[in-house]
């Protein structure tokens, strides 16, 4: 009876390991990506350049540098790079280890979307 119970427990343990292995691998991969803090040159675009095309069908990846001027609601801000202002929406999983203010220079990575209220949906934020 003990051998049968040991075999059953072994099968359950192997099954659980097979189910959890991909999740653990993905979690480790994401964790490794989070520690990269590249500070070299990056191709950026100005807000003025983005706002040249405000068609509701416009979508493009964008990297902009500037400051958050003011907060509109929990995850929406007005951003300026010195050329123009644009609304930005910060992704829910963006967490800053430090406080930022209207003088903190930032690099925002995200997707620009045109329309009546053009905005950048920010995936990643970096203090520069």
CATH no. for residue 64?
2.40.50.200
pLDDT computed for residue 97 by the predictor: 80
Please say whether the beta carbons of 104 and 67 come within 8 A. yes
Domain of residue 24, residue span: 1-36
Domain check: are 16 and 77 in the same one?
A: no
Q: How many CB atoms lie within 10 A of CB 58?
A: 14
Query: Is 68 inside a domain boundary?
Result: yes
Domain check: are 61 and 116 in the same one?
A: yes
Domain check: are 26 and 75 in the same one?
A: no
Domain count within the chain: 2
pLDDT computed for residue 20 by the predictor: 60
Mean pLDDT value across residues 101-122: 95
Query: Is 41 inside a domain boundary?
Result: no
Domain check: are 9 and 68 in the same one?
A: no
Listed in order, strand segments (DSSP E) in the chain are 59-73, 76-80, 85-90, 106-113, 119-127
Predicted model pTM: 0.69
Domain check: are 106 and 52 in the same one?
A: yes
Using CA atoms of 109, 113, 117, 123 in order, give the dihedral in degrees to the nearest 10: -30
- Per mean pLDDT, which range of 15-19, 22-26, 111-115 is the poorest? 22-26
Domain check: are 28 and 63 in the same one?
A: no
Alpha-carbon torsion (23, 25, 26, 28), positive or negative:
positive
pLDDT computed for residue 11 by the predictor: 67
Half-sphere exposure at residue 111, Cβ-oriented, CA atoms within 13 angstroms: 7
Domain check: are 54 and 30 in the same one?
A: no
Q: Is 15 helix (H, G, I), strand (E, B) or coil?
A: helix
pLDDT computed for residue 37 by the predictor: 67
């Amino acid at each position: 009876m003990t051998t049968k119970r040991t075999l059953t427990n072994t099968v359950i343990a192997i099954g659980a390991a097979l189910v959890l292995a991909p999740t653990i691998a993905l979690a480790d991969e994401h964790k490794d990506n989070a520690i990269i803090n590249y500070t070299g040159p990056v191709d950026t675009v100005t807000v003025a350049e983005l706002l040249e095309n405000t068609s509701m069908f416009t979508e493009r990846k964008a990297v902009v540098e500037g400051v958050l001027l003011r907060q509109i609601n929990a995850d929406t801000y007005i951003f300026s790079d010195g050329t123009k202002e644009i609304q930005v929406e910060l992704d829910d999983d963006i967490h800053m280890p430090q406080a930022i203010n209207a003088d903190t220079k930032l690099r925002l990575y995200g997707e620009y979307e045109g329309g009546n209220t053009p905005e950048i949906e920010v995936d990643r934020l970096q203090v520069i």
